[in-house]
Amino acid sequence: MSDKPLRRLLLDALARSACPVCAVIDALVFDELCHLQRAAVVDPETHADVVGHGGYCADHFWYLDALASPVTNAELLAPLMDRLAERLTAVAAQLTTNPALLRHGAVAISTRVGMLTSCRVCESERVWQGAAIAAMLDIIAESGEQQRYTRCDGLCLPHLAQALSVCKDRVLAESLLHTAVEQSQRLAADLRTYVCKWETKDRGWGPEDRAPQCSIEKLVGAKRQRGSN
């Protein structure tokens, strides 16, 4: 992923209401899992890597469940179930010599089973987020793009915090915070308009129509599992 396509993705995302970094990460995760759903089955190297790491985290496994066909997932899951059976057999053998293992708690037992060592999609996400936030700061610093950023809902709180933590320009950091205040106030006004229109049965919806969802996204980030029902 080069900086130029990433910049283009972020600029396109400014035209939508969601956090631009969330929107870009969503698209990249979708593309990555679209690739992995088959590659982890038919490509020996990718298959060995995914199975060797114990599959994916819960979020990305359920994303894959909604995205890929059941038979494709079955081909990946079969060797993972074999691996799980082997690990559990080993834990059962340890219990015969160390009954106190049961008193060590769920975390200790899960550690001994040790299925998931790392999720490759999570690792990619961390890299993409760092790159996207750096590129977003560069875009916001440009005078021609500041107004576009102000008009959208802006960075969600988690990505705003990350951006502020790496921003080395005090003026830019202050501008980010002031813009976030304006965006939050605008959402608050839209939410009150939404409630008022609902109570008066006025269905002439404007931008306030998406205010509840946009406000949740502002607080916690966008819901990215686009493959889910």
* Domain boundaries of the chain, sorted by first residue: 3-220
- Tens-digit pLDDT profile for residues 170-215: 999 999 999 999 999 999 999 999 999 989 888 788 888 889 999 9
pLDDT of residue 95: 75
Distance CA 158, CA 124 (A): 18
Residue 113 or 160, more confident? 160
pLDDT classification of 152: cutoffs 50, 70, 90: confident
111-132 pLDDT, tens per residue?
Answer: 656 667 789 999 999 999 999 9
The residue ranking higher by pLDDT, 222 or 109, is 222
pTM: 0.81
* Distances from the Cα of 90 to the Cα of 77, 111, 114, 116, angstroms: 20, 12, 11, 16
For residues 166 and 133, give the distance between their C-alpha atoms in angstroms, rounded to a whole number: 9
CB-count exposure of residue 190 (10 Å: 0-12, 13-18, 19+): buried
User: Residue 166: is its pLDDT beyond 50?
Assistant: yes
On whether the CB atoms of residues 53 and 118 are closer than 8 A, the answer is yes
